[in-house]
Amino acid sequence: MATSDLDDLLAILDLSDVGADVFAGAHPRKNPPRTFGGQLMAQSFVAATRTVAHTIAPSALSVHFIAGGDPAVDIEYHVVRLRDERRFANRRIDAMQNGTLLATALVSYTSAGAGLEHSIPMPNLPAPETLPTIDQLLVGYEKVVPGFVEALRPIEWRYTNEPSWIMREKGGTLTANQVWLKADGVMPDDPTLNTAAMIYSSDTTVLDSIITTHGLSWGWDRIFAVTVNHSVWFHRQVDFSDWVLYSTDSPVAAESRGLGAGHFFSPAGDVVATVVQEGIVKHFPGNA
């Protein structure tokens, strides 16, 4: 029986094999009204990786969201083997629920050997141990962002900047959001699960800069947001038992659509992964 939110996350990543390249994924105890996109992406990734016979590292994941999921019903992940070679593999994953296609994901795997290496510099920010916990940052804002207070939190967050709900109360703006993240506990020594946990967390703050650039916040302002697509490029293996920095901003928003983009940095300062997410984001000022 799950005893923590991290146990819940690990439990839902332990997919059931229900047929030929078909896997079933459950939901955790705490859920939003619709299946959390990070869960759907992480489970898709695990399903795809279960079918790869060779030891090949993932290189990219791209997910297009089509319909919302019902947290009361398990999701089936149908994996299609598009390519299988010793150094390259490709998978398509269709996430299905009651006959409805929720999302389609593509995952590529590449083992190309050593080559040129470089990384952009990691921002110089306070160490995570010196920063307040998410629980401390939510004190006094329980009625402003109840969804955050009640959400499953298998990931520990340490904001280097003020989160949107505090920024908004002070009347400020933020063009970037930079958060230290790690599993709220010890992760198994399994590269797939560590990568899946990072994928899960990549859906947490990536759209924040779209609204904080305009001085807006979840809870305070009437905002509708839904993810359209989400891509992750994997550059190095992550250890999600240790802190990683998730540094994101929004390069553009137009026609009620916005991009959130960013990087995960290892404690050594290397770029571990790159993320781009597109969302439909609409603001309804006043009583509009």
Q: Distance between CA 146 and CA 75 in Å, rounded?
A: 26
> pLDDT tens for residues 70-116?
999 999 999 999 999 989 999 999 999 999 999 999 999 998 888 89
Domain boundaries defined on the chain: 1-112, 127-226+234-288
Q: Distance between CA 44 and CA 47 in Å, rounded?
A: 5
Q: Is 135 helix (H, G, I), strand (E, B) or coil?
A: helix
Q: Distance between CA 244 and CA 156 in Å, rounded?
A: 11
Q: Is the pLDDT of residue 288 over 50?
A: no
Reported pTM: 0.95
252-265 average pLDDT score: 97
Nearest to 22 by CA among 91, 93, 85: 93
Contact 241, 183 (CB under 8 A): yes
Q: Distance between CA 101 and CA 103 in Å, rounded?
A: 6
CATH topology of 1-112 equal to that of 127-226+234-288? yes
What dihedral do alpha carbons 243, 246, 131, 218 form, nearest 10°? -140
3-state helix, strand, coil in the chain (%, to 5): 20, 35, 40
Q: Is the pLDDT of residue 3 over 80?
A: no
> pLDDT tens for residues 114-139?
889 999 999 999 999 999 999 999 99
The percent of residues in the chain predicted with pLDDT above 90, rounded, is 94
Domain 127-226+234-288 belongs to what architecture? Roll (3.10)
Q: Is the pLDDT of residue 1 over 70?
A: no
Contact 276, 259 (CB under 8 A): yes
> pLDDT tens for residues 200-241?
999 999 999 999 999 999 999 999 999 999 999 999 999 999
**CATH number listed for the domain at residues 1-112:** 3.10.129.10
What are the structure tokens assigned to 180, written together? 């230290």
